[in-house]
Structure formats: C-alpha cells, structure tokens
Amino acid sequence: MRPDVVPQAGGRCALLVLGVASACGGTAHQLTIEPPPPRDTHAVLAGALCADNRCSCRADNGSDGGVGVPEGTDKKRYEVRIGPSPHELWVSINKTTVLYKSAERADACFYVDLPTGAQHVELRASNPEGVSAVMQVHELGTKTRSWYDTFAFSCGSPGPCSFDELAANKAEYAQAKRSMFDPCGTTKIKGISWDHGKAPDQQHPSELVVRFTLDIYKFAAWKPSGDPTCGQGGGRPPTDEPTVEPMAEPAAPPAESP
C-alpha cells in the first residue's frame, strides 16, 4: 500500500514510499487501509430532491435545479455526485455523514448542508480487480443560484484506475491556483492525498482512499460560475458586500496525524 500527498505551498512534505507511511521526520510504519463503511447512506440530506435517504440529480437548467437553498446564513448547500462507476463507492464527511453508491447504479447525487470552516471528506473505493472511482463536489450560490465546480476526482472511468492516472491527477491538483478549482466559488480545497493497495496485476489499485478538506468561507458568492472577473482582488468580496464579516480567510484545517 502506498500513500500519495499532493504538494501544496506551505503544506506537508510528500513521502512516496511503497509499503510505508511517515510524517515529516517521523518513524516509518506499515500502512493499513480500513475496510469500507457499511453499504448504506447515513446522512441528513437537504433540499426538495431528497427523500427516503436518496436524492434525484438536479436539472441542468442554469438555476438551482430544484434543489433550493438552506435557511439562514450559517450553512451552504453542496451537491456530491458519485460516479459514473460500475463499482460501489462511498463518500464520508467528517466521519459522520456517509453517502453510498451501489454497484447497481452508475451514479448517484446527494445534497447536504455544510457549515463554514474545515470539512473533511473521504472517497472510498474497493474492488479486488481494480477500482473505478469518480466524484464531483459542487457548491450552490445562495444568492446567485449558480453551481460552482468545487472539486472533481476521476480515476478509472471507463476501465480500472491506474497508477499512471493517479500520478496525472496529482500533477493537476498541484497547479490549482489559490487551492480553488472554481475562482467564483467560496470553497478552497486543501490537503489532497490518497492511500491505495494493489490489485493482483500490480498495475491498478484494489483499494483507494482519497482525502481532502473543504475550507468553506463565511461570505456568500456574489458572481456566477464562469464570470471572467472572478479571482481578481484576491478573491475577496467587494466592500459593499453585506456579508463581508469574514474578510480574513478561514483558519487552516488541523494538522493531520502521521
């Protein structure tokens, strides 16, 4: 099994050693990947498209797609889209929310409300002959009704994920400006890393855990996704923005243990 860490400015050192994992300057130890969660969704789902522990995928109509926005200003609504993949996949948030896509469904959508600050996310895939893991996270602008491309991961769709594809993903993530995949949104992505095991052919991961942190700003997005002026002025809201209380960036997520 092997840990991979995407290098980021000011972040941890990356150690890419087969069979061991170590923190910077720490002691090497054998890496163990925990079994996948139970085959069930355990979550408080949000919006009009969710019922009976399942959600329908939103319509791509240029608005909120029927999802609706959360009440109040202390939370933001996110779409977690899992797949397409022929395999089971799990996404967990803060170890308490678990979203499950079965092998009988090519993809699945879920809508959750998350508070501001650091929210820790894991994508889990497990298949002895090689995994196919795909997920996307989209932030809904509570004022703009625009969907922002917060994060995407894809390895092995179609076909099994390969180590070469993981390496290409690592290089792509390292180039993200200001750790924001959509400069019009209000969510940074931090601490992207993954662990994996090997299938019998030694060419594909049989187990995969992808980890990252959603660092959610307090203020609301004020420009739609795709606006060419997004990212100017350091990504901060204009001075006349009524929700400008968090002019400082959110605190960094806590340091990860070895």
Q: What is the pLDDT of residues 58-100, one digit of tens each?
A: 988 778 889 999 988 899 999 999 999 999 999 999 999 999 9
Give the per-residue pLDDT at 93. 98
25 pLDDT band, cuts 50/70/90, is very low
C-alpha to C-alpha distance for 241 and 119, rounded to whole angstroms: 25
Give the per-residue pLDDT at 211. 97
Give the per-residue pLDDT at 33. 86
Average pLDDT, integer, range 195-221: 91
Cβ proximity of 103 and 182 under 8 Å: no
Report if pTM > 0.85: no
What are the CA-CA distances from residue 15 to residues 24, 56, 128, 161 (Å)?
8, 40, 25, 21
Q: Is the pLDDT of residue 126 over 80?
A: yes
Give the per-residue pLDDT at 175. 83
Average pLDDT, integer, range 212-233: 91
Q: Which residue has the tokens 């923190």?
A: 23
Q: Is the pLDDT of residue 254 over 70?
A: no
Cβ proximity of 103 and 87 under 8 Å: yes
Tens of pLDDT, residues 112-122: 999 999 999 99
* Among the ranges given (93-107, 163-177, 237-251), the one the predictor scored with the smallest mean pLDDT: 237-251
- Measure CA 199 to chain center: 24
